[in-house]
Amino acid sequence: MTAGLRGARTGRVLVVEPMSSGAALLAAAHDLGLETVVLSHDRDDRRLPDELRKDIDTLVVLDTNDEAALVEAAVEVAREQPLSGVLPGFEFYVPAAARVAARLGLPGLPVESVAAVRDKALMRRRVEAAGLRVPRYASLGSAAELDGAAAVVGYPCVLKPTDSAGSIHVSRADTPTELHAAYRRLSEDRRLDLGRRLDGRALLEEYLDGPEFSVEGYVAAGRVTVVAVTRKFLGPEPYFVELGHVTQADLAPAERRAVEEYVAAVVAALQVTVGPFHCELRLSGGEPVLIELGARLGGDRIPDLVEIATGVPLAHLAVAAHTGTDLRDVPSGAPRAKYAGIHFFTAPSRTPYGTVHGLDRLRARPEVLEVEVETAPGRPVPPAQDFRGRVGHVLYSTDSYAEALELRRTIDLGVTFE
Ligand SMILES: Nc1ncnc2c1ncn2[C@@H]1O[C@H](COP(=O)(O)OP(=O)(O)OP(=O)(O)O)[C@@H](O)[C@H]1O
Ligand SMILES: [Mg+2]
C-alpha cells in the first residue's frame, strides 16, 4: 500500500514462515530496498500461498518446527551472504527468530526473556511481578489439577492452552462440570495447527468482564510507540470467536491514555525491546487488564485497518525496526478514512451451506472495500468455536464509529447462508 524506496536492493532480511499478517513483511522489505529470504515448511497448513512467491527472492524449505534445524539453516543463509535482519512471520516462530538474531548479532528480542511472549503463564507472572494488573490465574497440566486451579481463580473462569493461538480451545466455564468438559475437549483434540499438537498444558483465569481492545505499536531505538487502539467484537460465549474489529476504538481521551500507559508498561515488563507488538486487553471495571501480548503484527488484517485509519504502515516499521533502519526512511501515508473495520461471517448450523445471499448488495456499498468467502459452498464448515469457524470477511471504512457499528448490523442482517 505504501509508496516505496524501490531501487537497488541493499540488504537482505530473513522471515520465518510468513503467514497471516506476517506475509506483508515481504512486500514491505522489498519496498525498503531489501531482498527477502524465507524459511518455510511450505506444505500442509504451512504451505506458502502462490501469490506470495513473487515477494520471495530465496526460499529455504525445512521443517520450521525443528528449531535447531531452523537456526542452523539461518546461520548457513547468513554465511553465504550477510543478513540485515530476521523476523518471525508468525507468532509460533518468535522465539526461534530471537535465537537466530542473537546468533548473528542482529536486532532481536532478548533470548533470556523471549519465552514470556509465547507462554501465557510466564507472561502473566512477569507482568504481575512488574506490579501491573492481570487476571487471577493458575497453571495446570492434567484434569486432576482443575479443581485446585478453580479454587484459586473462582467462577466464572476461562480455560485456554498455554501457548496456542486463534482462540483454539479458549472457553468460559461457569461450573465445575463445564470446566471439566472444556478440559476434556482440549486434551482429547488431536488436530494439528501448523504441525503442532496441544500438549494438555493450560491456564485457568479469572473471567474479565468488559469490552475488548487490541493495541498495535512498535519498539525502535528504545522507544515504545502506540499507533492504534482497535475495538474487538466477539461471538457468543462460552467461546471467544473474533467476529470483527474497528480501528480506532471509541475510547474517551482518559481511557485511551490509561490504555497506552498500561501497554507501554507491559511491553517493558516483557522486555519487548525491538519490533512490532499486538497487545490484547479488556477494560474491566474501567481499568486495562492484559489478555496477552504478541511480539509480532496483529492478525485478522489489523495492520491493514491501521494503515487505512492512520496511514502508518506497521509491516514496514516492523522490518525497519528489525533491520536497524532509520524509521524516518519509512514513508507514512495519509489516512484513507477515519475508521476502518473488518467483519467475519460464520455460517452457524449450516454445514455445509449451499448458497450465500446478500454479497452483491454488500459489494455495491461505498464503504465496502473487499468481500471474500473463503469456505466455498459444499465444503464442511467447522463449528464457530475458534478462528476456523469463520467462513469469510468484509473489509470496510467509514467516516464515524457509529457508522461502523451500523454497517456491522447491516452485514449481520443482510448476509445469510442456507
Ligand atoms: N481471562 C479472560 N477473561 C475474559 N475473556 C478472555 C480471557 N482470556 C481470554 N479471553 C477471551 O478469549 C480470547 C482468546 O484468548 P487468548 O487471546 O488468550 O487466546 P489465543 O488463542 O491467543 O487467541 P487469539 O490468537 O485469537 O488472540 C480473547 O481475545 C478474549 O476475548
Ligand atoms: Mg489472543
> For the segment 250-307, what is each residue's pLDDT rounded down to a tens digit?
999 999 999 999 999 999 999 999 999 999 999 999 999 999 999 999 999 999 999 9
Q: Which residues contact 20 (CB under 8 A, 6 or more apart)?
A: 90, 299, 300
Contact 148, 137 (CB under 8 A): no
The number of the ligand nearest the C-alpha atom of 158 reads 1
Asked if residues 205 and 158 have their Cβ atoms less than 8 Å apart, the reply is yes
C-alpha cell at 116: 514470556
Does the pLDDT at position 336 exceed 80? yes
Which residues fall inside 5 Å of ion ligand 2, going by CB? 280, 292
Residues of the chain with CATH 3.40.50.20: 11-111
What is the best residue among 124, 167, 193 to mutate for testing ligand 1's pocket, by most ligand atoms within 8 Å of CB?
167
Give the pLDDT confidence of 33-52 residue by residue, as tens digits. 999 999 999 999 999 999 99
Residue nearest to atom 14 of ligand 1 (CA): 167
Please tell me the distance from the alpha carbon of residue 266 to that of residue 131, in angstroms, as a whole number. 10
CA dist 214 → 123, 264, 318, 394, 413 (Å): 17, 13, 17, 19, 26
Q: Compute the distance from residue 189 Cα to the ligand 1 centre, in Å.
A: 19
For residue 164, the model assigns a pLDDT of 84
Q: Which of 280, 284, 302 to mutate to test the pocket of ligand 1 (most atoms within 8 A of CB)?
A: 280
What would the DSSP string read from start to end of 273-327?
Answer: -SEEEEEEEEEETTEEEEEEEESS--STTHHHHHHHHH---HHHHHHHHHHT--G
Q: Are strands 287-294 and 137-140 parallel, antiparallel or unpaired?
A: unpaired
Residues in a beta bridge with 218: 225, 276
Nearest to 123 by CA among 273, 287, 266: 266
Residue 6, pLDDT above cutoff 60 = no
Q: Considering the domain 212-417 in this protein, what is its CATH number?
A: 3.30.470.20
Instruction: Return the CATH superfamily for domain 136-206.
Output: ATP-grasp fold, A domain (3.30.1490.20)
Residue ranges, CATH 3.30.470.20, the chain: 212-417
Phi, psi for residue 249 in degrees, rounded to 5? -70, 160
Distance 170 CA to ligand 1 centre (A): 6
Q: Would the pLDDT of 1 be above 60?
A: no
Segments of the chain assigned to CATH 3.30.1490.20: 136-206
Q: What is the rounded average pLDDT of the residues 329-358? A: 90
pLDDT of 383: 87
Ligand 1 center to residue 155 CA distance, Å?
16
Residue 327: how many CB atoms within 10 A of its CB?
Answer: 15
Please determine, for residue 4, whether its predicted confidence score (pLDDT) is greater than 80: no
- Which pTM does this prediction carry? 0.95
| CA count, 13 A, side-chain hemisphere, 24 | 20
Separation CA 145–CA 119 (nearest Å): 19
Give residue 373 CA to ligand 2 midpoint distance, Å: 23
- Tell me the average pLDDT of the chain: 95
CATH number 3.40.1260.10 is the correct assignment for the domain at 11-111: no
Q: Are 259 and 213 in contact (CB under 8 A)?
A: yes
The residue contributing the CA closest to ligand 1 atom 26 is 166
Ligand 1 atom 9: residue of nearest CA: 291
Position 350 scores a pLDDT of 67
Angle (CA) 412-350-393 rounded to 5° is 40
Between CA 313 and CA 306, with CA 21 as vertex, the angle to 5 degrees is 35
Q: What is the position in ligand 1's atom list of the atom closest to the CA of 387?
A: 26
pLDDT digits (tens, 9 = 90+) for 97-154: 999 999 999 999 999 999 999 999 999 999 999 999 999 999 999 999 999 999 999 9
> Where do runs of H (alpha helix) occur along 324-416?
359-363, 401-414
Q: What is the largest CA-CA distance in the chain?
A: 63
Which residues have any ligand 1 atom within 6 Å of their CB? 135, 158, 160, 164-168, 170, 205-208, 212, 234, 240, 242, 280, 291-292
Local confidence band at 3 (pLDDT 50, 70, 90 cut-offs): very low
Which residue among 128, 292, 293, 296 has the greatest number of ligand 1 atoms within 8 angstroms of its CB, and so is best to mutate? Answer: 292
Strand, helix or coil for residue 226: strand
63: confidence class by pLDDT, cuts 50, 70, 90: very high
Distance CA 229, CA 246 (A): 9
> Ligand 2 centre and the CA of 335: distance in Å?
27
